[in-house]
Amino acid sequence: MRIGVLGTGHLAEFLIRGAEGLGYHFTVSPRSADRAAALAASHGVNVARSNQAVVDGCDLVLVCLPAAEGVDILRGLRFRAGQSVLSAMAGARLAAVAAAVAPAAAACAMMPGLANAHGLGPCLLYPARTEWEGFLAALGPLHVFGDEAEFVTATAFGAMSGAVFFWMDALIGWFAAQGVAPAVARRLVAETLRGNAEVLLREVAGLEDIRRGIATPGGITEALVRVLETRGALEAWGGGMDVVLQRVRG
Ligand SMILES: NC(=O)c1ccc[n+]([C@@H]2O[C@H](COP(=O)([O-])OP(=O)(O)OC[C@H]3O[C@@H](n4cnc5c(N)ncnc54)[C@H](OP(=O)(O)O)[C@@H]3O)[C@@H](O)[C@H]2O)c1
């Protein structure tokens, strides 16, 4: 299956890496010539002469263009009936993408990016488009939405995912500053979060029950949570997500 990619940046590279060996062939746009050439050498992608050549040569077109200008760039291209265009641009709304690529079909997606290079990043899709579902499911767990408002709200997870790297970095730095070898600190933080994430996926207990079980009264978890709450650290996540939501709702 051939997929044309408009915007040969970080996300394009992550998704192409994630689909390695799964039978997908990619044609990418020539801008970011170094990255396109590197992807040609490492993943055998075709580098088209222009954005229009990508569109002309592919029935499936994945849009990884900058969010601010992406829809305008799409408006300058000619699409045809029978094509299907998937936008991965944060904040791009279905109606705007659909109008820009008519008469092609349109859909919107969101994913964390780098985790998709490892087949582990959840992908959101709105609306259901069977032609894209196999590709996205290869990049991580797939969530298909039928309701646009719910989809747009859920896309805020993209920022949450990115911010968690900063949080992990701060924790790793703290352990390293206290004398734990940086490589051990990195593994410790990653393994702890992976273990806790698996708990959420595997246990049926609610968070309230889980919290009661893991925070011994008077213990060290309780002490840490008290400091975080006193300093507004947990509440600040909600405040930050509100800002992201305003952005993605437009
Ligand atoms: N990075 C992620 O993990 C991630 C995750 C989810 C969603 N997204 C979304 O993916 C999109 C791309 O993000 P990114 O992080 O990959 O950004 P990026 O690394 O800056 O990539 C954007 C690419 O688009 C190219 N471009 C700009 N104008 C173009 C044009 N007119 N024609 C063809 N290509 C053009 C840029 O080329 P130049 O470098 O030459 O300007 C760059 O290679 C954004 O809309 C973002 O919201 C990203």
The predicted model gives 220-229 an average pLDDT of 96
Final residue of a structural domain among 90, 119, 154: 154
- From ligand 1's centre to the CA of 66, what distance in Å? 4
Q: What is the pLDDT of residues 55-70, one digit of tens each?
A: 999 999 999 999 999 9
Query: Can you tell me the distance from the alpha carbon of 136 to that of 144, in angstroms, rounded to the nearest whole number?
Result: 10
- From ligand 1's centre to the CA of 123, what distance in Å? 18
Residues at CB less than 6 angstroms from ligand 1: 6-11, 14, 29, 31-32, 51, 64-67, 70, 73, 88-90, 111, 113-114, 158
Query: Same domain for 57 and 69?
Result: yes
Query: Same domain for 12 and 117?
Result: yes
Query: Same domain for 216 and 107?
Result: no
Q: Which domain holds residue 244?
A: 157-249
Query: Same domain for 233 and 134?
Result: no
Final residue of a structural domain among 104, 120, 154: 154
Number of domains in the chain: 2
> 32 pLDDT band (50/70/90 cuts)?
confident
Distance of CA 56 to the CA centre of its chain: 27
- pLDDT of 31 reads 86
Cα–Cα separations (whole angstroms), residue 95 to 71, 101, 126:
11, 10, 11
DSSP reduced 3-state for 165: helix
For atom 41 of ligand 1, which residue has the closest CA? 32
Query: Same domain for 207 and 115?
Result: no
Helix, strand, coil % over all residues of the chain, rounded to 5: 55, 15, 30
Q: What is the pLDDT of residues 97-118, one digit of tens each?
A: 999 999 999 999 999 999 999 9
Query: Same domain for 6 and 117?
Result: yes
Query: Same domain for 139 and 238?
Result: no
Nearest-atom number in ligand 1 for the CA of 65 is: 24
pTM value is 0.96
